[in-house]
Amino acid sequence: MKVIASTDRAFKQMVKRVASRSTLHGGEVENTAKTILKAVERGGDSAVIRYTKKFDRVTLKPAQFRISPEQVKEAYYQIRKEEGDALRFAAQRIMAFHERQRTKTWMYQDNGATLGQVVMPLDAVGIYVPGGKAVYPSSVLMCAIPAKVAGVKRVVMCTPTSKAGISPYLLVAADIAGVDEVYRIGGVQAIGAMAYGTKTIGRVDKIVGPGNMYVATAKRLLYGTVDIDMVAGPSELLVIADDAANPAHVAADLLCEAEHDEEARVCLVTTSARLAKEVVRQVGEQVKRLSRQKIVAKSIGRHAVAFVVGTMEEAIDLANEIAAEHLALSVDRPFDYLEKVRHAGALFLGRYTPPAVADYVAGPNHVLPTGGTARFFSALSFDDYVKKSNIVAYSKEELVKVRDHVARMAQMEGFDAHAKSLESRLS
């Protein structure tokens, strides 16, 4: 893990390198995604079968795409009771949080006009749950529960399969969260199937959830055909720590995020050179005791940085420039800095808020913007599963009051039919 101070000549260059990371992929990744998407659009189920065999080494028939209710029931017998209890506990917390995000249809009277906004759930949402290096039942809960809170009638889940099938943890989580359809399809072909629809998989209106670079690129390419939540990249954590922070805790939090995959990005920003040195030592010690040691070591070696700055104000400014997915404030009086933080997907405040509690059971959504996109993207929320239509209703009397303003605006824009659509009602 590199340590670099604000007085070092290479400091600004390192900050720029960290801050300029991107979630976007072009070249070969984009070309591959385009090829698969076009094949699925044209070939439907047959293309899905072909690419599932190619990438997952599993041969499926269309009738085998969807997980049956019997398979879901069987999954409950494959996990321990306390594991099911943990999933239900997390689900309750996630539901409670997202229910507080509810927005309702509203209207008001402006003299003789009625104005407002109607809030309606999307008809169908697809959630993508990645496979590969780990199993993510928490992502199932985070993506599906807000959809059900919003009133989405049809929630579809796609996840990669193996010859052994889908993890029972995913199936139980899907059942607890209220997922309506589960398909054992992954990769770009799953994104294409949900976006375009096939004979077996009905199309959806929006696709949410994390995935690898090919899945993220496919979602980006399909934006406009369907809505998407965001273009997500590797996991990120930035920890701001003062001299009183516990270096063992800080190191453990950095390693917690680094174990997602080799491209995970973690960094420390501190006002204490002593703390930075001790955190680096703790990282080196703790990584030896982790089951995913090789993945963590690659992440730390490739991307981890400890920045040493002069003041907390500099630390906050640096955090805002980097705009990390997760920002932890292991400092005295963390709430004093809350309004100064402008760019972060989620904030973990205080000495006793490890990333894991937010990832699993706190309740706020853990699907968050990465790659610096916290400057303009938000965490997945209730709002992602509804659409809003404006309401305008005028009386004749109120129309008379605005006729001259409408006519002048129409004249400015050169649209005489606009003015005549009003005048036809008043002549």
Q: What is the 3-state secondary structure (H, E, C) of 341-383?
A: CCCCCEEEECCCCCHHHHHHCCCCCCCCCCCCHHHCCCCCCHH
Beta strands in 129-270 (DSSP E): 154-158, 181-183, 206-208, 227-228, 236-241, 265-270
Angle between helices 168-177 and 137-150 (to 10 degrees): 20
Element (H, E) at 390: strand 386-393
Angle, vertex CA 298, rays to CA 319 and CA 304, nearest 5? 20
* Residues 282, 153 share a domain: no
pLDDT band at 162 (very low <50, low <70, confident <90, very high): confident
Provide the 10 A C-beta neighbour count for residue 39: 18
pLDDT band at 132 (very low <50, low <70, confident <90, very high): confident
pLDDT band at 185 (very low <50, low <70, confident <90, very high): very high
Residue 68 pLDDT more than 90? yes
Asked if residue 388 is part of any domain, the answer here is no
Asked if residue 371 is part of any domain, the answer here is no
- Across the chain, mean pLDDT equals 96
Question: At which of 212, 228, 244 does a domain end?
Answer: 228
Q: Provide the pLDDT for residue 21.
A: 87
Asked if residue 149 is part of any domain, the answer here is yes
- The string of pLDDT tens digits covering residues 372-404 is 999 999 999 999 999 999 999 999 999 999 999
Question: At which of 347, 362, 377 does a domain end?
Answer: 362
Q: Provide the pLDDT for residue 391.
A: 97
Q: Percent of the chain beyond pLDDT 70?
A: 100
pLDDT band at 121 (very low <50, low <70, confident <90, very high): very high
Stretch 215-229: mean pLDDT: 96
Q: Percent of the chain beyond pLDDT 90?
A: 95
Backbone dihedral angles phi then psi of residue 417, each to the nearest 5 degrees: -65, -30
Residue 180 pLDDT more than 80? yes
* Residues 46, 115 share a domain: yes
* Residues 161, 191 share a domain: yes
Paired tokens of 349? 């405040």
Sequence-distant contacts of 26-29: CB under 8 A, at least 24 apart: 29/213, 29/214, 29/217
* Residues 414, 293 share a domain: no
Instruction: Look up residue 80 and give its DSSP letter.
Output: -
Q: Provide the pLDDT for residue 232.
A: 87
Question: At which of 188, 205, 228 does a domain end?
Answer: 228
* Residues 207, 174 share a domain: yes
- The string of pLDDT tens digits covering residues 227-282 is 999 988 899 999 999 999 999 999 999 999 999 999 999 999 999 999 999 999 99
Residue 23 pLDDT more than 80? no
Closest CA to 146 of 112, 98, 114: 98
Residues 281 and 244: beta-carbon distance below 8 Å: no
- Domain that residue 164 falls in: 27-228
**Catalytic residue ranges:** 325-326
* Residues 35, 18 share a domain: no
Asked if residue 275 is part of any domain, the answer here is yes
* Residues 280, 143 share a domain: no
Q: Provide the pLDDT for residue 86.
A: 98
Q: Provide the pLDDT for residue 22.
A: 78
Residues 269 and 239: beta-carbon distance below 8 Å: yes
Q: Provide the pLDDT for residue 83.
A: 98
Stretch 160-172: mean pLDDT: 92
pLDDT band at 134 (very low <50, low <70, confident <90, very high): confident
Asked if residue 284 is part of any domain, the answer here is yes
Q: Provide the pLDDT for residue 427.
A: 83
Q: Any bridge partners for residue 52, and if so which?
A: none
Q: Residue 300's domain is classified under what CATH number?
A: 3.40.50.1980
Domain total for the chain?
A: 3
Asked if residue 385 is part of any domain, the answer here is no
- The string of pLDDT tens digits covering residues 83-103 is 999 999 999 999 999 999 999
- The string of pLDDT tens digits covering residues 322-347 is 999 999 999 999 999 999 999 999 99
Asked if residue 241 is part of any domain, the answer here is yes
* Residues 193, 138 share a domain: yes
Residue 109 pLDDT more than 80? yes
Residues 61 and 344: beta-carbon distance below 8 Å: no
Q: Provide the pLDDT for residue 345.
A: 97
Q: Provide the pLDDT for residue 26.
A: 77
* Residues 418, 353 share a domain: no
Residue 163 pLDDT more than 90? no
Q: Provide the pLDDT for residue 131.
A: 85
Q: Provide the pLDDT for residue 111.
A: 87
* Residues 188, 130 share a domain: yes
* Residues 281, 163 share a domain: no
* Residues 188, 47 share a domain: yes
Asked if residue 219 is part of any domain, the answer here is yes
Distances (CA, A) of 367 to 88, 236, 296, 377: 19, 12, 21, 11
